[in-house]
Amino acid sequence: MVKIKKSDELAIATNKLVLQNEEKEKRAAELIIANKELAFQNEEKEKRAAELIIANKELLFQNEEKEKRAAELIIANKELLFQNEEKEKRAAELIIANKELAFQNEEKEKRAGELIIANKELLAFNYVSSHDLQEPLRKIQTFVTIILDKENQNLSDNGKYNFQRIQQAAGRMQQLIEDLLAFSRISTSEHKFEKTDLNIIIDEVKTELKDTIEEKNAVIEATELCTANIIFFQFRQLMYNMISNALKFSNPGVSPHIIIQSKIVKGDKLNNSKLSPEKNYCHIMVKDNGIGFEPHFSQRIFEVFQKLHGKEEYAGTGIGLAIVKKIVDNHNGIISATSELKNGAVFDIYIPVN
């Protein structure tokens, strides 16, 4: 029985060994698969490692770039900071400048307000003073006429003569007051511009001066006249003053010949620094053949109460041309006079068309 047991034991042991060997071979096969797997994974890991190295290089490069950008940004920020400081300085200066302008505007408005009040007062003063001045003047004149009428028999020739001189002086004073009033009215009245045919104005003035024109056998030529944008009653006053002057200052024994012309001219054709080259002007010319004046008086004649002759030679207060100039000023124009003694005078007026 023991021998069977040993061969059985061998068989069992051999079976066990075979089983174990089978198991070991299974294990070996599994190990081989596992090793292949590991080897594959290792390859993969090395690929990953290589990729990581490239990625790291890339990151490093980008970091360098970012640091360059950061450095540039720091410079740019410094620049912005500087410009902001400059802007704040400018803003502060502007605030000061604006305060200054606001202050000046207030001052200007105060001045404008004061001027308006002063003008109103001047107008009232002129009106009242001319009325109040005229009243005692009128009394003087009337009383003198009463005395000359009633006391005619009782007065010596000398006495009569003296009273006549009083009359003449009073008459001059009255004229002076009327002229002053007319002058101040020109600047304080309303300015309404209308397109007007200048012929109409000349005709009205000729009618007003009819008697003097006939008496002096005067000829007034006004053939080429255009339309102008003017203040009617002021311009009529202007033409009246100019034509009446031309009649008054005629050469003794020579019939006055007055020529009035007008045409539209562009500023650049006229050699005058006071005229704008782009604007169109209505050029009105008044020419006479009277006594004229010396060229060096060509500006003074436009001044208020300036005369070139004594009151014995020519009547008048010397305000006629001052009024003319003021009217031209009101029309934003200019006036100039050219003359030679005994050779008449030419007056040139330039008024903007618009």
Binding site for other proteins (CB under 8 A): 131, 134-135, 138-139, 141-143, 145-146, 149, 174
In terms of CB distance, is 187 or 338 closer to other proteins?
Answer: 187
CB of 203 to other proteins, least distance (A): 21
In terms of CB distance, is 134 or 196 closer to other proteins?
Answer: 134
CB of 179 to other proteins, least distance (A): 16
State how beta strands 257-266 and 219-221 pair.
parallel
State the Cα–Cα distance between residues 189 and 327, nearest whole angstrom: 11
293 close to 227: Cβ distance less than 8 angstroms: no
Joined together, the tokens standing for residue 211 give 């008697």
State the Cα–Cα distance between residues 253 and 302, nearest whole angstrom: 27
Distances (CA, A) of 193 to 241, 274, 283: 20, 22, 17
State the Cα–Cα distance between residues 246 and 223, nearest whole angstrom: 18
CB of 287 to other proteins, least distance (A): 33
Distances (CA, A) of 226 to 41, 42, 222: 111, 112, 10
CB of 96 to other proteins, least distance (A): 53
In terms of CB distance, is 179 or 288 closer to other proteins?
Answer: 179
| Contacts of residue 49, Cβ cutoff 8 Å, sequence gap at least 6 | none
State the Cα–Cα distance between residues 291 and 310, nearest whole angstrom: 15
CB of 142 to other proteins, least distance (A): 5
In terms of CB distance, is 172 or 257 closer to other proteins?
Answer: 172
State how beta strands 257-266 and 334-339 pair.
unpaired
In terms of CB distance, is 237 or 339 closer to other proteins?
Answer: 237
CB of 190 to other proteins, least distance (A): 13
CB of 144 to other proteins, least distance (A): 9
State the Cα–Cα distance between residues 183 and 179, nearest whole angstrom: 6
In terms of CB distance, is 174 or 199 closer to other proteins?
Answer: 174
CB of 99 to other proteins, least distance (A): 48
Joined together, the tokens standing for residue 210 give 């009819």
194 close to 333: Cβ distance less than 8 angstroms: no
State the Cα–Cα distance between residues 257 and 345, nearest whole angstrom: 11
Which amino acid, 132? D
In terms of CB distance, is 212 or 227 closer to other proteins?
Answer: 212
Joined together, the tokens standing for residue 114 give 């004061």
State the Cα–Cα distance between residues 172 and 137, nearest whole angstrom: 10
In terms of CB distance, is 120 or 131 closer to other proteins?
Answer: 131
